[in-house]
């Protein structure tokens, strides 16, 4: 099977590595990819947001499957264009990707499907926002309706700040605050059936102890030793399958990975958000544990015919990833700084480095090119040993001004 992966981050490097391990994958391409994906695939510098350009590349490379990493190409209609051209795509059409692209649409689907989520109001005027905030009381949760690259959500006790965010956005979703730990669960879907991956936890805030601004994610681990038994089946029954069924009923079948961001509240599991793609950096740890060959799985989703009773195989033990972020991430990350120490990091037993925001400069040196620069992954028989491997490897990385959290996967 010939495969093209779209995207450029640590998630795409993890996808490329997992596909490279699959003996049925005979050719692997990435677009645009990064210096890490170039180690296992051929990179192509195209604009992944241009559906016509993606179709042309996929046809020229004669690929059997296109795997879309980030949400932006999905929302831009890349999945639609590929399927119209008769190409297999892992990733939903534009219509189904609205489950991530519009928070109001996600709420509408959840209501229709009876999926447990925070009570919410969609507000378009300041007076509507005022009324909704009064109804829910603090802490206030105000979400920009559209895609906002992780910056659209404000959670605050300050009513003034909540109103200011509502005013700054055209349309917001204001909802009740959900307490309790967060879990990310990914399900592979073929439009009709869905198979869960193992749950993971992400660390969204920039600094230790959950301080600082929200980020795309500063680290992740799997499995979750504290998760209640039966959690995955419960989420499949109450969240994933009803959502997949509702989208199919609306004739916008969901093909790709449905990412359920969940809160385990004192009143039960609630959906915080859906994403139409693999989570980043959770994917890096989930795929580290996956033993079933990935290419065949994603192709079964894209073509239909995913066996509903499919049992995936997992390597025992745990994986932890620590994000090495650029100076001033997330506000205004520094770029172009030389990265060194990767050979030493990769030499740490049970650890390796994924490239997220890296590039080669004119001199051929590896430099930072994004906010989240590297994802250092460690594995081991349990979370503590995986964590130790990840941090030992992270300590070998040299990048001026970089920072990483020191409490990723630190369990009580």
Give least dist CB 156 to ligand AMP, A.
11
Binding mask 153-192 for ligand GLY (x = CB under 6 A): ----------------------------------------
Q: Which of 204, 248, 335, 403 binds ligand AMP (CB under 6 A)?
A: 204
Give least dist CB 152 to ligand AMP, A.
6
Residue 140's DSSP bridge partners are: 156
Q: Which of residues 211-270 bind ligand AMP (CB under 6 A)?
A: 214, 261
Q: Is 275 in the site for ligand GLY (CB under 6 A)?
A: yes
Report d(CA 218, CA 206) in Å as an integer: 6
Toward ligand GLY, which CB reaches closer, 275 or 402? 275
Burial of 337 (0-12, 13-18, 19+ CB in 10 A): buried
Q: Is 408 in the site for ligand AMP (CB under 6 A)?
A: no
| Interacting residues of 341 by C-beta distance below 8 A, sequence separation 6+ | 396, 397, 398
Give least dist CB 7 to ligand GLY, A.
12
Toward ligand AMP, which CB reaches closer, 93 or 273? 273
Helices 103-113 and 94-101, interaxial angle, to 10°?
A: 100
Q: Which stretch binds ligand AMP (CB under 6 A): 125-133, 173-181, 223-231, 235-243?
A: 173-181
| Interacting residues of 3 by C-beta distance below 8 A, sequence separation 6+ | 19, 25, 27, 28, 29, 63, 64, 65, 66, 67, 295
Q: Which of 64, 175, 190, 337 binds ligand AMP (CB under 6 A)?
A: 175
Phi, psi dihedral angles at 91 (to 5 degrees):
145, 135
Given ligand GLY, ligand AMP, none, residue 207, with its beta carbon under 5 to 8 Å by kind, binds: none
Binding mask 178-197 for ligand AMP (x = CB under 6 A): x---x---------------
| Interacting residues of 374 by C-beta distance below 8 A, sequence separation 6+ | 10, 323, 324, 339, 342, 353, 354, 355, 356, 358, 397, 399
Bridge-based pairing state of the strands 27-32 and 2-7:
parallel
Q: Is 337 in the site for ligand AMP (CB under 6 A)?
A: no
Toward ligand GLY, which CB reaches closer, 261 or 293? 261
Toward ligand AMP, which CB reaches closer, 126 or 138? 138
Give least dist CB 308 to ligand GLY, A.
26
Tell me which residue of 355, 200, 356, 350 sits closest to 282, measured CA to CA.
200
Token pair of 206, please?
């920039």
Q: How far is CA 345 from the centre of its chain?
A: 24
Q: Which of 12, 144, 202, 288 binds ligand GLY (CB under 6 A)?
A: 202
Phi, psi dihedral angles at 187 (to 5 degrees):
-125, 135
Report d(CA 5, CA 78) in Å as an integer: 12
| Interacting residues of 311 by C-beta distance below 8 A, sequence separation 6+ | none
Tell me which residue of 355, 188, 198, 180 sits closest to 263, measured CA to CA.
180
Tell me which residue of 114, 242, 266 sits closest to 258, measured CA to CA.
242
Given ligand GLY, ligand AMP, none, residue 334, with its beta carbon under 5 to 8 Å by kind, binds: none
Q: Is 144 in the site for ligand GLY (CB under 6 A)?
A: no
Toward ligand AMP, which CB reaches closer, 175 or 350? 175
Q: Which of 79, 279, 333, 370 binds ligand GLY (CB under 6 A)?
A: 279
Contacting positions for ligand AMP (CB under 6 A): 118, 141, 143, 153, 155, 175, 177-178, 182, 204, 214, 261, 272-273
Contacting positions for ligand GLY (CB under 6 A): 202, 216-217, 275, 279-280, 282
């Amino acid at each position: 099977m010939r495969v093209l992966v779209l995207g450029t981050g640590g998630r795409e490097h993890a996808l490329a590595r997992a596909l490279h391990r699959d003996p049925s994958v005979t050719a692997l391409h990435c677009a645009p990819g990064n210096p890490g994906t170039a180690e296992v695939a051929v990179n192509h510098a195209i604009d992944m947001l241009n559906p016509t350009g993606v179709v042309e590349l996929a046809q020229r490379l004669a690929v059997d499957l296109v795997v879309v990493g980030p949400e932006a190409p999905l929302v831009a209609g890349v999945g639609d264009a590929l399927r119209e051209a008769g190409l297999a795509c892992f990733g939903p059409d534009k219509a189904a990707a609205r489950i991530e692209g519009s928070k109001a649409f996600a709420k509408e689907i959840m209501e229709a499907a009876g999926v447990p989520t925070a009570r919410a109001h969609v507000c378009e005027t300041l007076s509507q926002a005022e009324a909704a905030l009064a109804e829910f009381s603090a802490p206030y949760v105000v979400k920009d309706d559209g895609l906002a690259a992780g910056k659209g959500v404000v959670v605050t006790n300050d009513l003034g700040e909540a109103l200011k965010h509502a005013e700054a956005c055209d349309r917001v979703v204001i909802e009740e605050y959900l307490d309790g730990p967060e879990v990310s669960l990914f399900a592979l879907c073929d439009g009709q059936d869905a198979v869960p991956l193992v749950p993971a936890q992400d660390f969204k805030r920039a600094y230790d102890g959950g301080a600082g601004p929200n980020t795309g994610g500063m680290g992740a681990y799997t499995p979750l030793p504290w998760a209640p038994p039966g959690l995955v089946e419960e989420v499949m029954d109450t969240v994933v399958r009803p959502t997949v069924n509702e989208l199919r009923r609306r004739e916008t079948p969901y093909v790709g990975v449905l990412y359920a961001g969940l809160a385990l509240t004192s009143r039960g599991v609630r959906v915080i958000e859906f994403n139409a793609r693999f989570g980043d950096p959770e994917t890096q740890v989930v795929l580290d544990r996956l033993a079933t060959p990935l290419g065949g799985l994603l192709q079964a989703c894209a073509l239909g015919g995913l066996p509903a009773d499919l049992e995936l195989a997992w390597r025992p033990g745990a994986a932890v990833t620590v994000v090495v972020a650029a100076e001033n991430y997330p506000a205004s990350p520094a770029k172009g700084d030389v990265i060194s120490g990767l050979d030493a990091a990769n030499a740490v037993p049970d650890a390796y480095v994924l490239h997220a925001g890296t590039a080669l400069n004119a001199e051929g040196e590896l430099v930072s090119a994004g906010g989240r620069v590297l994802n250092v992954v460690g594995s081991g028989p349990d979370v503590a040993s995986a964590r130790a491997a990840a941090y030992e490897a992270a300590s070998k990385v040299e990048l001026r001004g970089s920072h990483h959290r020191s409490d990723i996967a630190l369990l009580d």
